[in-house]
Amino acid sequence: MVTMFSVANANRRQFLKQASGGFAMTAFAGMCHETDGAVDPLAATKSHFPAKADSVIFIYATGGVSHVDSFDYKPALIKDHSKSIVASRWLNKSGEFERFLIKPHWDFRQYGENGVWVSDLFPHLGSVIDDVCVLNAMHCDSDGHDKGTLAAHTGSAQFARPSVGSWVSYGLGTVNQNLPSFMVLAPAAPYAGAQTWGSDFLPGCHQGTHVIPGKDPIDNINPRVGSNTLQSMELNLLRKLNATHRRDRQDDAAINARIKSFETAYGMQAAAPEAFDVSQESKHTFEMYGMQEGDVTGFGWQCLMARRLVERGVRFIELIDVGSNSNWDSHGNMADHARLAKNVDQPMAGLIRDLKQRGMLERTLIVWTTEFGRTPFNMSATHAGREHHNFCFTSWMAGGGVKGGLAYGTSDEYGIMAQENSAHTHDLHATILHQLGMDHEELTYRHAGRDFRLTDVHGNVLHDIVTG
């Protein structure tokens, strides 16, 4: 399908030999020998059943995007603007609170063959809505940023657990041994920090590799020493030390994972520079993502890189638009949503278009989500912001066997509570795994005396939104 994909699936030793003038062959052979007789924790494995998708691009909007200002159109909220209601929860407290409905801050329009409603915040995304399934009745358990962010990534709001990307890496391995199976492209960490892409009790090789947009997106990718001979000597010594250390620890998964990480790191010295070199991309491609030629930062670059990494066999790529500061957490000023939406709207639409025109969208699952929504009401009808709201919010999916042009699930007339075809974060995770050919109830890992899974003891696949 794509030229670089064939390289990733070709003879890896031959590729490295050609790329590094023969040195890579010598040193890398020693590192491969290190894993002889041990299970390769990143070896590509068969899925439980035929998959609809090979890779996932997981886009996370930090801070809580307002559903009633973006994708969940509520005419009644417009009609009853400033009307008094009684809220049963306010700022993490239960009770009876008099509050006032606040209409959307942006107009909505219908897009696509099925007339899916999208606000003026996302006109570019509206133009590709026939490839998107909007989930308008999402809900989760926590209205706090840290807990909500953890749950969106790990399924657990209370304790750090392996990230969804780590579970995918653990379940399926990688098709390109020279690049990490799970990569996170983000200028900064979201709430809850780096544990959102951590592997926790899963082998360490399954944690996300953090890539920071810029001229040098991956730290320490270049050889530390100036001599190939010297690096070869260092790597051979490391191989011997690891082999000795593991001799009496054959069943220690952590050691095998650490050894595998050295192997991947070495392969990245050859593969990563090419993967992150966008100089050969066309002017049209840059424009599609809303970029200027030569840009190495911004969300457009993150989306373009996600496509390039999917081409090269990376299994799970997460994109985080902003970090824990200056994000979608619009308590005092919903106008912030306009700035943030402008930053991501065209790049996300460009990503969908680019994947589709390359014949890759069918096998690539794109997921966009946030930790929760925002209240359709506030303490006064003139209040400029909205508070946290976990009872209803919006996510969307595209590609990877998901039905497009669909608005699935409904909330009540004001967007306060999820109602028909509601979906929990566990259901979203179960559906992601399902599209990758994995049964979320069967993907388990034994830890601390019991079997763990991404969805804990919950989760249902959203069969209504997937094909086949």
Per-residue pLDDT of the chain (468 residues; tens, 9 = 90+): 333 333 333 333 333 333 333 323 223 333 333 344 456 888 999 999 999 999 999 999 999 999 999 999 999 999 999 999 999 999 889 999 999 999 999 999 999 999 999 999 999 999 999 999 999 999 999 999 999 999 999 999 988 899 999 999 999 999 998 999 999 999 999 999 999 999 999 999 999 999 999 988 876 666 666 666 776 787 778 778 877 877 777 667 666 666 666 666 666 776 888 999 999 999 999 999 999 998 999 999 999 999 999 999 999 999 999 999 999 999 999 999 999 999 999 999 999 999 999 999 999 999 999 999 999 999 999 999 999 999 999 999 999 999 999 999 999 999 999 999 999 999 999 999 999 999 999 999 999 999 999 999 999 999 999 998
Q: How many CB atoms lie within 10 A of CB 283?
A: 10
**Residue for token pair 């049209």:** 284
Distance separating alpha carbons of residues 244 and 238, to the nearest angstrom: 10
- In the three-class reduction of DSSP (H, G, I as helix; E, B as strand; rest coil), residue 52 is classed as coil
Domain 35-73+108-218+276-465 matching CATH 3.40.720.10: the answer reads: yes
In 286-336, DSSP assigns E strands to 316-320
Tell me which residue of 360, 422, 418 sits closest to 389, measured CA to CA: 418
What angle do the packed helices 253-275 and 228-246 form, to 10 degrees?
160
- Beta strands 182-185 and 316-320, pairing class: parallel
Give me the pLDDT at residue 223, please.
Answer: 63
CB-based contact 419:410 (threshold 8 Å):
yes
Q: Give residue-wise pLDDT tens across range 422-451.
A: 999 999 999 999 999 999 999 999 999 999
CB-based contact 266:235 (threshold 8 Å):
yes
**Core vs surface per residue 223-250: b (16+ CB within 10 A) or e:** eeeeebeebbeebbebbeebbeebeeee
Q: Give residue-wise pLDDT tens across range 302-346.
A: 999 999 999 999 999 999 999 999 999 999 999 999 999 999 999
CB-based contact 185:318 (threshold 8 Å):
yes
Distance separating alpha carbons of residues 96 and 372, to the nearest angstrom: 21
The DSSP element (H or E) to which 394 belongs, if any, is strand 393-399
In 172-328, DSSP assigns E strands to 182-185, 209-211, 316-320
Q: Quote the tokens at residue 235.
A: 């790597």
Distance separating alpha carbons of residues 322 and 63, to the nearest angstrom: 9
Q: How many CB atoms lie within 10 A of CB 123?
A: 16
The number of CA neighbours under 13 Å toward the Cβ of 128 is 24
In 220-372, DSSP assigns E strands to 316-320, 364-370
Concatenate the DSSP letters of all residues of 60-99 into one string.
EETT---GGGTT---HHHHHTTT-EEEEEEETTEEEEEEE
Distance separating alpha carbons of residues 429 and 451, to the nearest angstrom: 17
CB-based contact 198:192 (threshold 8 Å):
no
Give me the pLDDT at residue 394, please.
Answer: 98
Q: Give whole-number Cα distances, 8 to 28, 266, 388, in Å.
A: 16, 15, 44
CB-based contact 406:129 (threshold 8 Å):
no
Distance separating alpha carbons of residues 168 and 252, to the nearest angstrom: 21
Q: What are phi and psi of 264, to 5 degrees?
A: -65, -45
Domain map of the chain by residue range?
A: 35-73+108-218+276-465
443-448 own/partner pairs: CB under 8 Å, 24+ apart: 443/48, 443/167, 443/170, 443/171, 445/162, 445/170, 445/201, 445/202, 447/201, 448/201
Give me the pLDDT at residue 19, please.
Answer: 37
